[in-house]
Every structure is written in structure tokens, then in C-alpha cells.
Amino acid sequence: MPNTTRPLLLGLSLAGLVGLAGCQAYVLHGKVTRGSISVMSLVEPDDPRLAEPGVPNVQVAVHRDPGRLAIRLTGRALSDARGSFAVELDEFGAGWMDEEWLVIATRRGFETAQLQLRIPSRTDPRRLLIILAPGISEVPDLRDDLIEQYERFR
């Protein structure tokens, strides 16, 4: 009688590893620098602005479904001493589904920047460049939009 246990265990182990690889969290990488206006843009990894001095301690928050009633914060990170950040988005579909995300960058002493975008795929090397201008940080109140969304969807 042949031993079928070993191939079965090997197959189950491989299936488990493939399943775990598919569940890995998406990470949005980028950098915050200083400028004359607050703006965000996806840029290639060789963009010279990524080499400029960074702004530390900027909160980068990512919200899912900004145009819907169910908008929610899905990830946030602080920029490090060099201005670099990595926001982990442990959400189904992040990095491969075609959907909108809202990124908001805030730090005291700088104007708030925000951008609604389709985040790059896992294989896309682009980075999110956030340029902040000195000024007053105003965090958008996403709750104000709830009444507008209610009116739109009722």
C-alpha cells in the first residue's frame, strides 16, 4: 500500500504558504518634504524631490471609500526623521482593487495636504510624495461630509 500521507502534507503546506502570501498587508511608501504649497503626488522612485530633506512627525492617514457613507480610517503612520513613511493597509483588495482612497497628511505648523487617489499596485514602484507648506494645520472633519452623503444616498 503506497504512503499518501507525505504528498498530502506537502500539498497542504504549499497551499498554506500560497494563502499566507496572498494575505500580506499592502504598504504605501512615501516621503514628506517642505515646499511653498501643500500637495501630494505619486512619483517614480528616482524623482529628485525624494532626495530632498524630509519633514519628520507628519501623520499620514489613509481612509477607504471616501465617496461613500462607509468611509473609514484604514491605516496611519508618522514620518520618520528623514521624512519617510510606510502606511500598512491590512485591508482586503488594497493594492489590486480599482477603488478610491483618501490620504491626509497633517503636522502642527504646516498646512494640511490631502489627495483622493487609486493607490499603486503591489508591483508599481511609485512612491507618494507629500509636500507641506508652513502654515496652519486644519484636519478635515469627515463627519461633516456624512450629512452630505446621507442626502446623496437617501
- Closest to 76 (Cα-Cα) out of 94, 95, 103: 103
* Confidence bin at 12 (pLDDT 50/70/90): very low
Q: Pick the more confident residue, 143 or 67.
A: 67
C-alpha–C-alpha distance, residues 31 and 83, integer Å? 5
Rounded to the nearest integer, the mean pLDDT of the chain is 80
27's grid cell: 504598504
**How many DSSP H helices and E strands does the chain contain?**
2, 8
When mean pLDDT is compared across 13-17, 67-71, 146-150, the lowest value belongs to 13-17
Q: Is the pLDDT of residue 40 over 90?
A: yes
The pLDDT of residue 17 is 40
120's grid cell: 499603486
Work out whether strand 101-106 and strand 113-117 pair parallel, antiparallel, or are unpaired: antiparallel
When mean pLDDT is compared across 1-5, 51-55, 94-98, 111-115, the lowest value belongs to 1-5
Helical (H) or strand (E) element with 10: helix 5-22
Domain boundaries, the chain: 25-153
pTM, to two decimals: 0.74
User: Does CATH number 3.40.50.300 belong to domain 25-153?
Assistant: no
